[in-house]
Amino acid sequence: MVASYLSLWATALAVASVLLAPASAAGACHCYLTNGSTPQYLVNHQFLDFRSIASPRITAPIKNRTLATKAGVTHPYFNSTAFANTWSVQAWVSNGPDATVWNTYSKNDVYVAANADARPASSTYMTMRTYRHPAANGNFQESAEIQTLSPNYKYLSMRMYARTRGSTGAVTAMFTYRGGATDADVQEADLEVLTRENANQAHYTNQPSTAGGVSRPNATNQVAIPTWTAWRTHRYDWSAGMSTWYVDGRVVNQNSYQVPKDPATLLFNVWSDGGGWSKVMPVGGSAAMDVQWIEILYNNTDYPTKYAHCANVCSIDRGTAPGVTALISSGP
- Three-state secondary structure of 70-131: HCCCCCHHHHCHHHHCCEEECCEECCCCCCCCEEEECHHHEEEEECCCCCCCCCEEEEEEEE
Residues paired with 266 in a beta bridge: 176
Which of residues 170 and 202 has its CB atom nearest to ligand NAG in the complex?
202
Q: Is 257 in the site for ligand NAG (CB under 6 A)?
A: yes
Distance CA 203, CA 186 (A): 18
Using CB under 6 A, pick the residue from 25, 76, 179, 224 that binds ligand NAG.
76
Helix (H, G, I), strand (E, B) or coil at 181: coil
Q: Is 218 in the site for ligand NAG (CB under 6 A)?
A: yes
Using CB under 6 A, pick the residue from 12, 18, 25, 67 that binds ligand NAG.
67
Q: Is 284 in the site for ligand NAG (CB under 6 A)?
A: no
Distance CA 155, CA 220 (A): 19
The CA distances from residue 225 to 202, 233, 259, 275, 326, in Å, are 7, 12, 21, 25, 29
Using CB under 6 A, pick the residue from 7, 52, 55, 79 that binds ligand NAG.
79
Question: Which H or E run contains 35?
Answer: none
For 308, other C-beta atoms within 10 Å of its C-beta total: 10
What minimum distance in Å lies between the beta carbon of 324 and ligand NAG?
11
Which of residues 52 and 256 has its CB atom nearest to ligand NAG in the complex?
256
What minimum distance in Å lies between the beta carbon of 141 and ligand NAG?
16
What minimum distance in Å lies between the beta carbon of 249 and ligand NAG?
2
Which of residues 55 and 276 has its CB atom nearest to ligand NAG in the complex?
55
Q: Is 304 in the site for ligand NAG (CB under 6 A)?
A: no
Binding mask 85-124 for ligand NAG (x = CB under 6 A): ----------------------------------------
- The DSSP call for residue 62 is P
Q: What are the residues binding ligand NAG (CB under 6 A)?
A: 35-36, 64, 66-67, 72-73, 75-76, 79, 150, 152-154, 218, 249, 257, 299, 301-302, 317
